Structure 1
Amino acid sequence: MKLTTNYSFILASESPRRKELFGKLAIPFEVQPANIEEVVEGKLTPEDMAISIAYKKTVPIVEKNPNAIVIGADTIVHLEQESLGKPTSQDQAKAYLKKLSGRTHTVVTGVSIQGSGTSISFAESTQVTFYELTDEQIDAYVATGDSLDKAGAYGIQTMGGLFVKKIEGDYNNVVGLPISRLFQTLLTLEVIKFEKEWSK
């Protein structure tokens, strides 16, 4: 399967995981991190919060590249009424993992597609259930340093995935980018198309 496009794409994220996932489309793209403050005003649902931050990431990049299609994304781990962002210390990472232990949480990724006459956003949600974790397991994982750059203090694609009992929904959404839904959206917008291959 080959895709083609007449547009320039920019991924407004410095996440190596999102870069790898977007690369599955096999179309040319650049990476330009937005470097914004990832906060929003007011009381929002996790979905609206993720979309709002994803959109904020696209704004400065679209201003610099008005003819490109800019894609921003933001992932939030939500447990009951609390959002667990990226921990700022090992102690906070341990506290997050203790809260997630033995429970089901929601991972929400907001995606915003902006620029070149395009403006659409959506949020994808995945339910993730953890096994009961011991203090020893939590301490050993946090000591690796893997927790500190990930929402909810774990990476499902790294050793943090060993804590996951089951998921309901899109695995890639938990990694940081619901690439399947993004692919379908870009096809619907007709900014990417299938490249016809003719065989004799």
Structure 2
Amino acid sequence: MQPSILLASGSPRRKELLEQLGYQFSIVRTDVEEVRQTDESAYDYVVRLSKDKALAGVALAADSVVIGSDTIVVCDQTVLEKPNDYQHAKEMLMRLSGRSHQVMTAVTVASKQKQETVVVTTDVWFKPLSEQEIEQYWQSGEPCDKAGSYAIQGIGGRFVTRIEGSYSAVVGLPLFETDQLLHKFL
């Protein structure tokens, strides 16, 4: 009998992406604190969060295969988290304006027996942004809960001039890599 699949995420975007792969799965919400440790690299941070989420899911349902994922935005070696308020979002978006940054998404698939993690890094370029564009974007509500204060699949997509890498990873779950990992567990 094939084990059940759990997605350890409350993100509607990750749910939609996993649905595109055609798997039957359930959602489990895990309570993983997303705080970067002192001297932790961006890579290690995103890997740790995805593993923590997957393993928290396994702890809740030991007979399942659990997918944990996390996405961060990195600019000049600085991790841009979700904004605290408008001023914080404005600072982040001004920093991304007219240049490139990286979006790192880690996905971990775990079971009671094993775990495996893949990190996908995508380069994203923004057009130059005006303060008016940033304020209007903030008023839309979209940047409030997004790493780096933007959503490529939403209104924020208008700021993106090009990407090199995985679009689905920027949204929150790299489809190819997730599918490849799941094949190792099912």
Would the TM-score normalized by the shorter structure come out above 0.5? yes
1:147 aligned partner: 143
Structure 1 residue 48: Cα displacement: 1.7
List structure 1 runs of 4+ shifted beyond 3 angstroms: none
**Residue correspondence of structure 1 range 2-21 to structure 2 within 5 A:** 6-21=2-17
Residue aligning to 1:57: 53
Partner of 1:79: 75
The aligned counterpart of 1:105 is 101
Q: Which one is further off, 108-117 or 120-129?
A: 108-117
Provide the secondary structure at the position in 1 that maps to 2:67. Answer: strand
Question: Quick check: which has more Rg, 1 or 2?
Answer: 1
2:182 paired with 1:182: no
Render the CA deviation track for 1:71-99: whole Å, top value 9, x for unaligned: 11010100012100110111111111011
Percent identity between the two aligned chains:
38
Where does residue 196 of structure 1 map in the other structure?
none
Task: Using the TM superposition, name which of 87-96 and 37-46 deviates more.
Answer: 37-46
Distance, in Å, in 2 between the alignment partners of 1:39 and 1:71 is: 20
Q: Is the 8 A contact 1:40 1:53 kept in 2?
A: no
Q: Distance in 1 between matches of 2:85 and 2:37?
A: 24
- Using the TM superposition, give the Cα deviation of residue 21 of structure 1 relative to its aligned residue in structure 2, in angstroms: 0.2
Distance 1:130 1:93 in 2: 15
Of 123, 131, 143, 1:135 maps to 131
Normalised by the length of structure 1, the TM-score is 0.89
The answer for the alignment partner of 2:116 in structure 1 is 120
Rounded to whole Å, the distance in 2 between the matches of 1:185 and 1:60 is 18
2:39 to 40, 43, 46: 43
What TM-score results when the alignment is normalised by the length of structure 2? 0.95
Q: Gapped runs of 5+ residues in structure 2?
A: none
Q: For each residue in 1:133-160, what CA deviation from the matched residue of structure 2 results, as whole angstroms up to 9, or x when unmatched?
A: 1111111101111001100000000010
3-state DSSP of counterpart to 2:161:
strand
Given candidates 18, 27, 34, the residue that maps to 1:22 is: 18
